Amino acid sequence: MSKKPTLTELKKQLRKKTQNELVEEIAHLYKKFANVKEFYQTSFFNDDSAVLDKYKKIVRDEYIPSGRKQFPNMRASVARKAISDYKKISCSNAGLADIMLTFVESGVWCTREYGDIDEPFYCSMESMYESTIKYIVKEDLFHEFDDRLRKILRDTHDMGWGFHDTLSETYDSYAIRAD
């Protein structure tokens, strides 16, 4: 069994290549791997919106059926993976906050449309709401996203399982820190 090369060893090999060889190597990676292409699209070409929209659609599609589908899949794991994948290829703090909020907004829409779901569903939404608001406060984006955070609270007012109460407590505890 061979050992994996370290980053130091990789850098050593890359230093042996000419600039043209490195350009060709990166071009090859760009063509072969979609996530590399998206990374360069967001970092070199400052075009995060198309990439963000792609990942937000994945999140929405889990909770808001489109086309002929009658009922959403509601796979939190798929939606969370989309957020994680976006985070790996983008450096946009606002984009990450946006997609995280999209997760909760989509779940709230699903609940309003289809009625009460189950406790794990609400726990997942509450967890993401808290992670989102923590991130928004940490990155000093609170004022940019406060309207959406509050709309979630308004939209959950009549929902069961203590969902609204938990979100309200979370909002109140972090909103104070943002001021």
Q: What's the full length of the chain, in residues?
A: 179
What the block records as the tokens of 3 is: 């050992």
Does residue 17 belong to any structural domain of this protein? no
pLDDT per residue over 38-70, tens digit each? 888 887 877 788 999 999 999 999 999 887 778
Model-level pTM greater than 0.75? yes
- The number of distinct structural domains making up the chain is 1
Does residue 18 belong to any structural domain of this protein? no
Query: Which domain range does residue 79 map to?
Result: 47-178
Does residue 59 belong to any structural domain of this protein? yes
* Count of CB atoms situated within 10 Å of the CB of 127: 15
